[in-house]
Each structure stands twice: as C-alpha cells, then as structure tokens.
Amino acid sequence: MFAEDDLLPLSALQHLLFCERQCALIHVEQLWVENLFTAQGRLMHERVDSGGHERRGNVRTVCAMPLRSMRLGLVGKADVVEFHQQKSGEWLPFPVEHKRGRPKKENWDRVQLCAQAICLEEALGVKVKEGALFYGKNRRRQSVEFDSCLRAETEETSARLHELIASARTPPPLYDKKCDSCSLKELCLPKTLEKPHRVERYLKRMMAD
C-alpha cells in the first residue's frame, strides 16, 4: 500500500511504456513541451473534461472522474466512466479512455485503461471486467477485456514506474524511430547524447584553430 504523498499520475504509465527516458524527463525532471500531437490531445481532453453527468436509458455517463489506487500507487482521472445497468439492477462501471490517434500495436493504452479499472474496483468494490478505448483518428471504440495477463502487465508497469521515480535518475537515451514523434526530442537530444565523451573532443576541435 502506498501513502497519499507517493501516488504517481496514471498517465505516467503510458510515458513509461513509450520510453523510460521520456517518463523520467517528464516526471523526474519536470520537463514538458507541447507539440501538435500533445496539443490535439489536450484539446480533445478539454472537451471530454467539460462534460459532467448524463443518463441515457440504462447507461449513466460520468466525465473526468477522479480515480486512485493505493495498491498501485496511482492517481488521476478517467475521461469517461460509463455505468451500465445490469439485469439485476446493479450499475457496473465501464471506463472509456479517449485517445487522439489510432489504435496501437503495443499495449500502452490498454495498460492505462486497466489501471483505471483497478482504481474503480478499489473505490467501488466491484469487479470491472471490461472497458473501451475511443480513438479520434478512426472514431471507433475498441473494447478491452481486463484479463489476468493485462492485469499482471499493469501491476508490473506501475511497480517499475515507482522504481524509476524513486531512483530520481534519467536513463540514457537510445535513438529510435519513435523519437521523431516525441515532443521532448529537442530536450532529450537522443542522437547527440547517445555517444559518450563527445564534449572533450569538441572543445579540443574548437581550440585547434
């Protein structure tokens, strides 16, 4: 169990899965740069955040719902949580996370959603079996089942996140294609910093003339 002071943002899971260094730059070094992608994402969330409550038949929708899990040590917000009324009359939570882009091969978005589900389970004492990701690019919902495999990955990811933040170290960069879409690229300098002992050589060169 974590203490309230040690809770980390839910969104950091995704940063960690994208790139450990990016995660440390944002959450240890507190760097943030907006680019086209992040701005679009922010605007999209502003719309979702402005929501509120709504009820349509047997679905009740809550926007920008605050969440936390003391077990995983995470805190944040769910874009949308739908409550689906069961035949028994019980309302079951169903988290829906909005994403700007398109569905990804990797599990990044599913892990974040699963963490939200675990938060909901902790708060409401119910089992959350399913949720969905809504992608802005194709405007489609993709349903996500919270199976034991995804749950294990989510637990492992949040444990790694806590380790990384506690170490207060920023891992060295490794240049990869995905760096080109990262808004922190100019601060991270992956290509420049990959190779060690460059500065000493550079200074010698500058003095040579």
| Token pair recorded at residue 27 | 């959450």
Cβ of residue 16: shortest distance to another protein, in angstroms?
Answer: 18
Cβ at position 169, least distance to another protein in Å: 8
Between 21 and 77, whose beta carbon lies closer to another protein?
A: 21
CB of 173 to another protein, least distance (A): 8
Q: What are phi and psi of 116, to 5 degrees?
A: -65, -40
Task: Give whichever of 16 and 119 is closer to another protein, judged by the CB atom.
Answer: 16
Considering all CA atoms of the chain, what is the largest pairwise distance in Å, rounded to the nearest integer?
84
Which residues here bind another protein, judged by CB under 8 A?
A: 28-31, 33, 35, 168, 170, 172-173, 183, 185-187, 189, 192-193, 196-200, 202-203, 206-207
CB of 30 to another protein, least distance (A): 5
Give the residue with the Cβ less far from another protein, 110 or 162: 162
**Closest to 80 (Cα-Cα) out of 118, 115, 123, 113:** 113
Q: How far is the CB of 171 from another protein (least distance, A)?
A: 10
Q: What are phi and psi of 60, to 5 degrees?
A: -110, 130
- Nearest CB to another protein, comparing residues 145 and 194: 194
- Location of structure tokens 């047997």: 58
Distance CA 118, CA 157 (A): 13
Pairing of strands 8-9, 74-85: parallel
Considering beta carbons, is residue 39 or 126 the nearer one to another protein? 39
Cross-strand pairs, 8: 74
- Find, among 118, 120, 111, 110, the residue nearest to 82 by Cα: 120
